[in-house]
C-alpha cells in the first residue's frame, strides 16, 4: 500500500452477482484491478460511465485523502480495522435507481439514519489520517459555490458533503443530458434486475487506494462489529 497516492473509505458489495453486474456496468473491477467488458446495452455506455469508472463501483463513506505527515499505510490499516470492529452493521430495505443531480445512481430506500451515523463517525474519527488540503485542492471544490456550512465542512474535513450534508449513493454514470438519462435508466434497471440486495446492508468498511494507474483498487475489507 506504500505506492498509493490517495486513500478512501467506501462501501463496496461483497463478491456475488451484484458486484459482478456493477463491475461490468462500469467496466472496471476494483478487486481484481482489471478492466471488465461492458454489457452490450448501448454503444456509448463506456463514455457515459467513464467518470465513475476510475473509482470502481462504490458508495463513499470517507472521501479520498492524502496521508498526513507521519502516517503510513500500516497506521491506516490499523485505524480503519479498529474502528470497523466498534461499528455495527446497518440494513435498509433495498436500493432505488434515481437521477441524482444529473447522475444515474442507486440510493438506499427507507431509513438511512444508521448509515449516516456510521459515515459521520468514520469521517471524524479517521480525520487525523488525512493531510490538509492544498490551495489547489480547495480551488477544485469551487468554494465560491458552496453554502457557508459546506465551506466549513470543507475546511474541517476536506470535503463539503459530509455530516448533515452527506447523501449515500452508488454512482452509475457521469452527468447526463435528459435524453441520455431517458435512454440509460431502463437499461440500468434491466441490467441490475434481480441482483440488487434486499435488504441492502452496510456490513464492511472497504479501504480503497488510488494507484499509479489513476484507478482506485480495493486494498482491504473490514467487517463491522
Write out the chain's pLDDT in tens, 225 residues.
Answer: 458 999 999 999 999 999 999 999 999 999 999 999 998 877 689 999 999 999 999 999 999 999 999 999 999 999 999 999 999 999 999 999 999 999 999 999 999 999 999 999 999 999 999 999 999 999 988 999 999 999 999 999 999 999 999 999 999 999 999 999 999 999 999 999 999 999 999 999 999 999 999 999 999 999 999
The CA distance from 172 to 41, in Å, is 14
Hey, is 35 helix, strand or coil? strand
Q: Please, are residues 224 and 87 in contact by the beta-carbon 8 Å criterion?
A: yes
Residue with C-alpha cell 449515500? 168
Q: Please, are residues 10 and 22 in contact by the beta-carbon 8 Å criterion?
A: no
Residue 2: the pLDDT is: 55
Residue 88: the pLDDT is: 97
Residue 64: the pLDDT is: 96
Fold that domain 6-220 belongs to in CATH: Cyclic Phosphodiesterase; Chain: A, (3.90.1140)
pTM, to two decimals: 0.94
Count of beta carbons in the 10 Å neighbourhood of residue 29? 19
Strands 6-11 and 204-210: antiparallel
Alpha-carbon distances of 48 from 57, 172, 181, 222, rounded to whole Å: 14, 9, 10, 31
Q: If we measure between CA atoms, which residue out of 136, 144, 120, 127 comes closest to residue 79?
A: 127
Backbone φ and ψ of 54, nearest 5°: -65, -25
Q: Please, are residues 204 and 223 in contact by the beta-carbon 8 Å criterion?
A: yes
Q: Please, are residues 204 and 84 in contact by the beta-carbon 8 Å criterion?
A: yes
Residue 78: the pLDDT is: 98
Residue 179: the pLDDT is: 94
The CA distance from 74 to 80, in Å, is 10
The CA distance from 158 to 62, in Å, is 10
Domain ranges of the chain: 6-220
Amino acid at each position: 500500500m506504500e505506492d498509493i497516492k490517495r486513500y478512501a473509505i467506501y462501501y463496496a458489495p461483497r463478491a456475488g452477482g451484484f458486484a459482478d453486474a456493477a463491475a461490468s456496468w462500469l467496466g472496471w473491477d476494483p478487486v481484481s484491478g482489471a478492466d471488465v467488458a461492458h454489457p452490450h446495452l448501448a454503444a456509448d455506455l463506456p463514455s457515459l460511465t467513464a467518470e465513475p469508472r476510475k473509482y470502481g463501483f462504490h458508495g463513499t463513506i470517507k472521501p479520498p485523502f492524502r496521508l498526513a505527515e507521519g502516517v503510513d499505510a500500516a497506521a491506516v490499516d490499523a485505524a480503519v480495522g479498529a474502528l470497523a470492529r466498534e461499528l455495527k452493521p446497518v440494513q435498509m430495505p433495498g436500493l432505488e435507481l434515481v437521477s441524482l443531480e444529473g447522475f444515474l445512481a442507486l440510493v438506499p430506500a427507507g431509513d438511512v439514519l444508521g448509515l449516516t451515523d456510521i459515515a459521520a463517525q468514520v469521517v471524524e474519527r479517521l480525520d487525523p489520517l488525512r493531510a490538509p488540503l492544498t490551495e489547489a485542492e480547495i480551488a477544485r471544490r469551487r468554494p465560491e459555490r458552496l453554502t457557508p456550512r459546506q465551506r466549513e465542512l470543507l475546511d474541517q474535513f476536506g470535503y463539503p458533503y459530509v455530516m448533515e450534508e452527506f447523501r449515500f449513493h452508488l454512482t452509475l454514470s457521469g452527468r447526463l443530458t435528459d435524453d441520455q438519462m431517458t435512454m440509460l435508466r431502463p437499461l440500468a434497471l434491466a441490467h441490475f434486475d434481480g441482483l440488487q440486495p434486499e435488504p441492502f446492508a452496510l456490513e464492511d468498511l472497504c479501504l480503497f487506494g488510488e494507484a499509479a494507474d489513476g484507478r482506485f483498487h480495493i486494498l482491504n475489507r473490514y467487517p463491522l462489529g
